[in-house]
C-alpha cells in the first residue's frame, strides 16, 4: 500500500514534478519539504500514478527504513482479517477523489506483528499540471487496545452492578403484588419505597454507565428504521410496575411514525425525561407524553405539572453534572446532558419550556426517515 521513497529522493522527485508544473514553485516546494520532514505527524505524498514521492521522518519511523519497499513487505488487512484490495488503499481512494478520513487498517509485518494505522488524506488537483495524494497517518494500536480494555472493564462492571439491582427490583415487584393481594397496607407502603428508590438507582446507574462510555470515547449511535410510536409505548409500559404508572399517559395522532434512529439510545432519552418528570412533580399530578410529526421531524414532548425550573437554571440545565436546587434527591446531573448528546447525535435537538409552580415540558426533536417524511 505504501511504496518506498526516502526524503532526499522525495525532495528531488517532488521538486522536479513541481518544476514541470510551475518552475516558480520550486523554492516553495523545498520549504514545504523541510516543514513536512519536521512534522510529528506521519505524512506521505504520492503522484497521480500512486507512486510515493515522499515519506517524512515520522512516516518512516512507523513503516520502517525507506530503503525497503513496504508494499512488498507489508500486508494490509481489514479488521475481519481479509486483505485490502489495492483499490481500497488510502492513496488509491484519495486519487479517485474519495474522502479518506480516519480510515483504520491493520498493517501486518512479516514477523506477524500487527499495528493499526489510521489514515486521512487529501487531494491536490491542479488538473493536467499536478495531481498529488497527501496522506497523513498515525499508529493508533495502543489507543485502540486501551479502548478495548476499557470496554471490557466497563462491560464486566456494568454487568456486575446491574445484576444484583435487577434481582432486588424483581423481588420487590413480587412483594408489591403479594402485599397488595393480602391487603397489607403498611408493608406495601414500605415496598413502594424500596421500588421507587431501586428504580431511581437503576436510572442513575444507567446514566453513569452511559457517561463512562461517552467519556472513554466508546460511544456511537447505530441508527435503524424504527417506529417511534412503538418505542414510546414500550418505554411507558416499563412503568407498569412503578408507583407512577397510573399518572403517565401517551397521545399520538397517527398509527406509526418511522424514523432512522438508534432505538436503544432514544429509549434512554425518554426514560430520562419521564424519570425526571415523575421525580420533579407531586405523585398525584399528570405526566403526559405526546408525539407529533411534521416538516421532516418527530417531536416527542414530556409534560409534567411539577415544581417547574427556575429561569436562572435553564441556560445550563443540559450541561453535564448540572443540578438544580430542586434536586433534593441528589441526582447525578447527567440525564439531560446525555439526552442532549443523543438528540444532537441524530441531527435533532432537545429543548425545555417551564413555568415555576406550574410544570415543565421537555421536547425531543428527531429527524424522520427522509423517504417517508
Ligand atoms: P438529575 O435529575 O440526575 O439531577 P438531570 O440532568 O436529569 O440530572 O437534570 C438536571 C437538573 O434539571 C435536575 O437536577 C433538576 O434540577 C432539573 N430538572 C430536570 N428535569 C426537571 C423537571 N421535569 N422538572 C423540574 N426540574 C427538572
Residue 315 to residue 334: CA distance in whole angstroms? 15
Count of beta carbons in the 10 Å neighbourhood of residue 294: 9
CB 300 within 8 A of CB 289: yes
Over the stretch 180-217, which tens digit does the pLDDT of each residue have? 999 999 999 999 899 888 988 888 898 888 888 888 77
Q: Distances from the Cα of 260 to the Cαs of 66, 153, 224, 230, in angstroms?
A: 47, 30, 5, 14
Over the stretch 133-169, which tens digit does the pLDDT of each residue have? 999 999 999 988 888 888 888 888 888 989 999 999 9
| pLDDT value of position 146 | 87
CB 16 within 8 A of CB 27: no
Statement: residue 106 has pLDDT above 50: yes
Over the stretch 306-316, which tens digit does the pLDDT of each residue have? 989 999 999 99
Report CA(190)–ligand 1 centroid distance (Å): 26
| pLDDT value of position 5 | 43
Mutation choice for ligand 1 from 203, 271, 333, CB with most ligand atoms inside 8 A: 333
- Where does ligand 1 bind, in terms of residues with CB under 6 Å? 272, 276-277, 280, 304, 306-307, 309, 317, 322-324, 326-327, 331-337, 360
| pLDDT value of position 30 | 72
Q: Give percent above pLDDT 90 in the chain.
A: 51
Statement: residue 11 has pLDDT above 50: yes
**For ligand 1, atom 17, which residue shows the shortest CA distance?**
324
Over the stretch 52-88, which tens digit does the pLDDT of each residue have? 888 889 988 887 554 455 666 788 999 888 999 989 9
Statement: residue 285 has pLDDT above 90: yes
Mutation choice for ligand 1 from 207, 247, 280, 361, CB with most ligand atoms inside 8 A: 280
Residue 109 pLDDT level (bands cut at 50, 70, 90): confident
Q: Tell me which residue of 309, 322, 318 sits closest to 355, measured CA to CA.
A: 309
> The C-alpha cell of 312 is what?
436562572
Q: Distances from the Cα of 324 to the Cαs of 208, 313, 330, 346, in angstroms?
A: 18, 7, 9, 27
How would DSSP label each residue in 46-113?
E-TTS-EEEE-HHHHHHH--TTS-HHHH-EEE-TTSPBPPGGGSHHHHHHTT--EEEEEEEEE-TTS-
Residue 12 pLDDT level (bands cut at 50, 70, 90): low
Statement: residue 266 has pLDDT above 60: yes
Amino acid at each position: 500500500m505504501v511504496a518506498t521513497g526516502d526524503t532526499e529522493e522525495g525532495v528531488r522527485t517532488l521538486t522536479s514534478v513541481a518544476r514541470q508544473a510551475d518552475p516558480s514553485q520550486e523554492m516553495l516546494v523545498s520549504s514545504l519539504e523541510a516543514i513536512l520532514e519536521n512534522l510529528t505527524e506521519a505524512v506521505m505524498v504520492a503522484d497521480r500514478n500512486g507512486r510515493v514521492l515522499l515519506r517524512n521522518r515520522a512516516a518512516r519511523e512507523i513503516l520502517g527504513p525507506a530503503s525497503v519497499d513496504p508494499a512488498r513487505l507489508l500486508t494490509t488487512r481489514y479488521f475481519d482479517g481479509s486483505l485490502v484490495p489495492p483499490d481500497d488503499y488510502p492513496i488509491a481512494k484519495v486519487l479517485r477523489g474519495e474522502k479518506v478520513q480516519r480510515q483504520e487498517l491493520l498493517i501486518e509485518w512479516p514477523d506477524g506483528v500487527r499495528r493499526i494505522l489510521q489514515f486521512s488524506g487529501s487531494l491536490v488537483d491542479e488538473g493536467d499540471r499536478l495531481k498529488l495524494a497527501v496522506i497523513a497517518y498515525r499508529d493508533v494500536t495502543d489507543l485502540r487496545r486501551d479502548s478495548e480494555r476499557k470496554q471490557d472493564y466497563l462491560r464486566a462492571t456494568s454487568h456486575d452492578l446491574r445484576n444484583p439491582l435487577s434481582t432486588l427490583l424483581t423481588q420487590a415487584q413480587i412483594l408489591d403484588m403479594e402485599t397488595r393481594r393480602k391487603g397489607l397496607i403498611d408493608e406495601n407502603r414500605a415496598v413502594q419505597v424500596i421500588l421507587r428508590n431501586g428504580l431511581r438507582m437503576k436510572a442513575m446507574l444507567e446514566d453513569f454507565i452511559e457517561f463512562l462510555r461517552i467519556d472513554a470515547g466508546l460511544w456511537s449511535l447505530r441508527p435503524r428504521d424504527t417506529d417511534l410510536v412503538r418505542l414510546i409505548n414500550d418505554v411507558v409500559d416499563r412503568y407498569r410496575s412503578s408507583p407512577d404508572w397510573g399518572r403517565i399517559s401517551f397521545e399520538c395522532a397517527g398509527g406509526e411514525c418511522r424514523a432512522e434512529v438508534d432505538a436503544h439510545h432514544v429509549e434512554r432519552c425518554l426514560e430520562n425525561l419521564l424519570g425526571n418528570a415523575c421525580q420533579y412533580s407531586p405523585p398525584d399530578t399528570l405526566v403526559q407524553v405526546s408525539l407529533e410529526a411534521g416538516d421532516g421531524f418527530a417531536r416527542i414532548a414530556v409534560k409534567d405539572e411539577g415544581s417547574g425550573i427556575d429561569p436562572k437554571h435553564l441556560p445550563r440545565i443540559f450541561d453535564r453534572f448540572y443540578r438544580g436546587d430542586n434536586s433534593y434527591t441528589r441526582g447525578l446531573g447527567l440525564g439531560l446532558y446525555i439526552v442532549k448528546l443523543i438528540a444532537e447525535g441524530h441531527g435533532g435537538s432537545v429543548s425545555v419550556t417551564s413555568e415555576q409552580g406550574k410544570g415543565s415540558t421537555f421536547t425531543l426533536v428527531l429527524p424522520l426517515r427522509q423517504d417517508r417524511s
